[in-house]
Amino acid sequence: AQSVTQLGSHVSVSEGALVLLRCNYSSSVPPYLFWYVQYPNQGLQLLLKYTTGATLVKGINGFEAEFKKSETSFHLTKPSAHMSDAAEYFCAVSDKGNKLVFGAGTILRVKS
Amino acid sequence: DAGVIQSPRHEVTEMGQEVTLRCKPISGHNSLFWYRQTMMRGLELLIYFNNNVPIDDSGMPEDRFSAKMPNASFSTLKIQPSEPRDSAVYFCASCPVGQGTGELFFGEGSRLTVL
């Protein structure tokens, strides 16, 4: 069975500071990995995904994530936080299908 | 293009009543998913369909829950009878069948409150 652990249910950063949201996964097969973002009262939208190939993947709004097989991690980063980045972020894993298993989510707060 | 459309956006009902949530997927998307989001359990996959056929309903909590997809452009999730613990936001998502890339397109959700 696949699973995702997101470390930290809440992360707070200052505007302009580095954003780091942590995600570790468990999968018995080579995984596909995803980060989704949810703004208040909205559905989830895809930020970025790793399927195969380059382990550093870039997404929308300046976010990127690196797949590290040895660490079973897929942490999300952004060099400089913006107020508009405040949202809830979900890491997800799949076994190459469309059936995703989501983590518990991390709420990002950006302080001015 | 219209995204995934869910209705109602908000529903308040009393325990024991029947609840029907509706979803219209994006045109051309033949995979449809129902998720439930709560503070305690996060996002849970309830059921998904490929080409209108239920593929995996292992996440449906109990017999009170049922889902149908009578055609490619419409799906329902029904709870009968409803209970307070069913209070949650229910999301519908869609994607093309066989895409296998995990990019699901979510609706804005139906927030259900059972009193």
Decide if A86 contacts A27 (C-beta within 8 A).
no
Q: What is the pLDDT of residues B46-78, one digit of tens each?
A: 999 999 999 999 999 889 999 999 999 999 999
Distance CA B18, CA B82 (A): 6
Tell me the pLDDT of chain B averaged across its residues.
Answer: 93
Sign of CA dihedral A63, B36, A102, B31: negative
What mean pLDDT, rounded, does chain A reach? 93
Quote the pLDDT of residue A99.
81
Task: From chain A, pick out residues whose CB is under 8 angstroms from the CB of B100.
Answer: 32, 96-98
Give the model's pLDDT for residue B100.
62
Which of B31, B42, B101 is the closest to A102 by Cβ? B42
Q: How confident is the model at residue B107 (pLDDT cuts 50, 70, 90)?
A: very high
- Give the model's pLDDT for residue B62: 85
In chain A, beta strands by DSSP E: 3-7, 10-14, 19-26, 32-38, 44-50, 56-58, 64-68, 73-78, 87-94, 101-102, 106-111
Write out residues in chain A with pLDDT < 50, as ranges.
Answer: none
Residues 6+ apart with CB under 8 A from B58: none
Contact B96, B29 (CB under 8 A): yes
Q: What is the DSSP annotation of chain B?
A: ----EEE-SEEEE-TT--EEEEEEPPTT--EEEEEEEETTTEEEEEEEEETTEEEE-TT--STTEEEEEEETTEEEEEESS--GGG-EEEEEEEE-TT--S---EE---EEEEE-
pLDDT of residue A39: 93
Across the interface, whether the CB atoms of A94 and B102 are under 8 A apart is answered: yes
pLDDT digits (tens, 9 = 90+) for A22-37: 999 998 888 899 999 9
Across the interface, whether the CB atoms of A45 and B43 are under 8 A apart is answered no
- Per-residue pLDDT reduced to its tens digit, B11-37: 999 999 999 999 999 999 989 999 999
Going by the DSSP 8-state scheme, the letter that residue A71 receives in this structure is: T
Cβ neighbours of A100 in B, within 8 Å: 45, 102, 104
- Given pLDDT bands bounded at 50, 70 and 90, which one contains residue B99? low
